[in-house]
Amino acid sequence: MAWGESKPTYRLSDDDKRMIIASLNGFCVQDDWDRIYSSLPPGGRAAFGIVLLETMMNKFIYDKFAASTFWFMDAKMDATDQEGDDNFCKRLDYVYERFKESKF
């Protein structure tokens, strides 16, 4: 392995690497970082860190915006309401899914 290939990820601990791979469950094969890395061709090794970063960003975008229909709703009563409800969008998603299941 050439020094340049490992440069983007050389500071990551083994725990960091395990957490990154685990966080990408469903988007990345769930195997040991070094095993995945060593199975890639040289071009894939050179871009491995960048590809994982892009995958993490895409997963975040999907989880935040696409998987939650009402992600933008905060349940505040008006502009002066400081509390809102962090789970409001999840509650609306649940109601929406239940509505879709009904025969209306």
- The model's pTM: 0.63
What is the overall mean pLDDT for the chain? 85
Report the Cα–Cα distance between both ends of the chain, in Å, rounded. Answer: 60
Beta-carbon contacts of 51 under 8 Å, excluding residues fewer than 6 positions away, are 44
Is the C-alpha dihedral spanning 35, 30, 10, 56 positive or negative? positive
pLDDT in tens, 30-71: 999 999 999 999 999 989 989 999 999 999 998 888 878 888
